[in-house]
Amino acid sequence: MKKQYVFIGLLVSGIVFSQTTNDSIASKGIDDVVIVASRKPTKISDIPGTVWVVQKEKIQEQAKSGVPIKEMLSILIPSMDIGPQGRTNYGQNMRGRSALVMIDGVSLNSIRAISRQLDAIDPFNIERIEVLSGASSIYGGNATGGIINIITKTPSKSGISGETELGVRTGFMGKDDHDFRAAQAIAAKGEKFFGKLGVAYQQNGGVYGADENQVLTDITQTDLQYNQSIDVLATGGYKFNNKHKITASLQYYNSRFNGDRSLYLGQNLSAFTTKNAGLLEMRDGFSSDKNIGTERFMGTVAYNGNNILGGQDLYVQLAARGEKLGFYPFPGNVTLQGVSTAYMSSSQQDTYYSGVKALLSKSWRSLNVTYGVDIDLEKFEGTQSVYDIAKTMSSGGLVNETKYSLGRYPTNHSQSYAGYVQAKYDILPKLQINGGIRYQNINVKVDDFVGSVQQTQVSMGYGSSASAIPGGESSYNVTLANAGLLYKFNEQHQAWGTFSQGVSLADPSKYYGIGVYKLNGTNWDVTSSINVKEQPLQAIKTNQFEVGYRINKGGLRGQIAGFLSNSDKTVTVDKKTFQILVNDLKLRNIGIEAEVSYSMSNGVYFGASGLLIKSEVDNNGEWQKQEIYNASPSKLVTYIGYNVKSWSFRFQSLQNFKLTDDLKNEIDGYNTSDLMVGYRFNWGKFNLGIQNIFNTDYQTIWSKRSQVLYSTYGLPELFSYKGRGRTFNLSYTFDF
């Protein structure tokens, strides 16, 4: 098979730095090639699956108009839920299930299921985003709903170049309702070497809803009010010759609370203890001696060899990631000498990851075979700070000084070893068959752990010691398969049918480490617990079936897919202990995702995208609606735009549809619309964005979900988070 692509630099993830050696292919541009579907460069027309590519122009149009990355993705990717407006992307599913998020092919998902994968990078440093909808067996764990691969920027032209960005966002609803940002990039590119450094900084103020009242601080997952973020990304590469290239990247990301205003819980936490929502208000005077935010280091080195080892292409990637996630002070009750006492605590959750991925690919006339190995090593530690009760009480939860540093979750270590092979064969010139298998072994070691409640009681003088819940090692193997047929009418039309398996694992830190204790003299004895020996971890497989069709002809682009995904087990949350539970209940998601757009020769374009989905759990032979804290609502996005000379205009509308479950919980339907205007002149470009232009008053999807998850607190107003009201964003960008 004639080689069509020569890459100056390529991570296994998908950083592509060069042009193709085939002029006819080069005319189609890099937009037609993605990495996410098969872990190597593949034309979209050769992929039997639903693939979405969000190009830099779309990303920057949204970002420079003030749309944050989580909201941006929910607008631009049909299968993805509408995103929360805080730090977390908890519950932001794809096709009703969790997604695997990567930066340049390095997974941000961990065995500890913390949903901050999208609190990871500033849009200023993003080149494009590739998305594969639905379950995938190629990448292993967490890819049951889809895969998002964020590809970072590299130099776009030879010589010295750079980019400067300044921006401000406000809703004019309060003296602190303003966000500021600044970003700078500098790059150099020669015949053999390239390098780029990008730095983005943003400081946020308060957030106000359409009712002009300040949105309550999200004390469950933390939000982005008064948040300061900095993203530093350095990339570089060297091309030895046409066969051998090496690339590297290093990122430091820090997004943290940087203010003194937060949620007041009433004197002596009385809003919490008496369930009196009227005492909740935002006040100045907040402080905490623990970091509230996300701090992450990540580095990668990748080697690409073309036409070596018997005519094969080799891709090798080494990656390391360390992240420290700080959570917000949260109220709770602890029993001391038979009396329930209110207090405040917060957790710190740290993950350390390293991994090696190697892939070989060889093509014959009608056959391509790709095979490789993955090695992933990870350590997780979870601690908590219990704050001085006297200062907490007198300040209504605003002043938080650590008095006890305790354990929050069991420390665990995981080792994963996987091998896989994928094959593609052209049965006929227009008919292609695909298939593959992945075998993965995962070993998880969980440390002995004293329950966090008992640690708190002992530190406060109720009992002098406590027995540990036993840890241990749990090892399991999983085999995942995929197969598909692709019919290529031509380069503009394709239809496909596929079967693919994905896998997820119950979070060991929230699955273990909780037990029933009884005070025996001065020691807390464990009477029962979920432990590694008696209840080892299990892989939860998802089987997905999909049929789809896409067209890319002239100004018409369209893609539609119908899907059915099934699993034999369901992960739920105990709403009293927040322990993860695995139930032997079948779960199925049935739906359609689609987008169609048309671009006219006069610069006008318009389109629509959406997700229609139903999620159900089999309870004793009866299919019931999945609870809303896990299920995905249906949605519809419509847009129209106009590009003329130096001007660009776009109007977009996002409709979230009502979702209810059999317990009468409900996510309300609502509509928000945005207007974006851009003007380019000789010395840069101005962008003006108006988000929620009609000032819709609504409650976010995460707010509704958290009210269900924390329903035992009996204070739903504590978790009532309004969506941001009408907001204006002005930015200036200069390229050189």
Average pLDDT on 652-679 reads 96
**What is the band of 706 on the pLDDT scale with cuts at 50, 70, 90?**
very high
The alpha-carbon radius of gyration of the chain (Å, integer) is: 26
List C-alpha distances in Å: 597 to 32, 53, 489, 550, 713: 17, 14, 20, 12, 46
pLDDT tens per residue across span 653-663? 999 999 999 99
3-state secondary structure 141-202: ECCCCEEEEEEECCCCCCEEEEEEEEEEEECCCCCCCEEEEEEEEEEEECCCEEEEEEEEEE
Strands 399-400, 287-288: pairing kind? parallel
pLDDT at 580 (0 to 100): 65
Higher-confidence residue of 374 and 569: namely 374
12 is a domain residue: no
pLDDT at 577 (0 to 100): 67
**What is the band of 38 on the pLDDT scale with cuts at 50, 70, 90?**
confident
What φ, ψ does residue 150 adopt, rounded to 5°? -90, 120
pLDDT tens per residue across span 197-209? 999 999 999 999 9
With 0-12 / 13-18 / 19 or more C-beta atoms within 10 angstroms meaning exposed / middle / buried, residue 664 is: exposed
Q: Apex CA 204: angle with CA 203 and CA 206, to 5°?
A: 155
Average pLDDT on 368-376 reads 95
Residue carrying the six token digits 């369209």: 558
As given in the structure block, the two tokens for residue 74 are 């929910």
Give the Cα separation of 535 and 508 in Å (integer).
11
3-class secondary structure, 684: strand
List C-alpha distances in Å: 629 to 90, 148, 666: 9, 22, 10
Distance of CA 593 to the CA centre of its chain: 19
What φ, ψ does residue 188 adopt, rounded to 5°? -140, 140
As given in the structure block, the two tokens for residue 349 are 């959750």
1 is a domain residue: no
165 is a domain residue: yes
Residue carrying the six token digits 């943290």: 256
3-class secondary structure, 536: coil
pLDDT at 592 (0 to 100): 98
87 is a domain residue: yes
The model's pTM: 0.92
The tally of domains found in the chain comes to 1
The answer to whether the CB of 388 falls within 8 A of the CB of 401 is yes
13 is a domain residue: no
Which amino acid does the sequence have at 36?
A: V
Give the Cα separation of 666 and 686 in Å (integer).
41
DSSP string, 592-628: EEEEEEEE-TTSEEEEEEEEEEEEEEEETTEEEEPPT
The answer to whether the CB of 380 falls within 8 A of the CB of 325 is no
Considering the chain, what is the average pLDDT of its residues?
A: 91
655 is a domain residue: yes
545 is a domain residue: yes
Average pLDDT on 476-502 reads 94
pLDDT tens per residue across span 301-338? 999 999 998 999 999 999 999 999 999 999 999 999 98
Give the Cα separation of 371 and 369 in Å (integer).
7
pLDDT at 36 (0 to 100): 83
3-class secondary structure, 12: coil
**Strands of 506-603, DSSP E:** 515-520, 523-529, 539-553, 556-567, 570-573, 580-583, 587-599
Domain limits for position 126: 23-735
The answer on pLDDT for 24 being more than 60 is: no
Give the Cα separation of 237 and 225 in Å (integer).
37
pLDDT at 31 (0 to 100): 57
Give the Cα separation of 313 and 305 in Å (integer).
6
2 is a domain residue: no
The answer to whether the CB of 99 falls within 8 A of the CB of 143 is yes
Give the Cα separation of 482 and 580 in Å (integer).
29
Give the Cα separation of 293 and 315 in Å (integer).
34
Give the Cα separation of 677 and 647 in Å (integer).
7
The CATH number of the domain holding residue 313 is 2.40.170.20
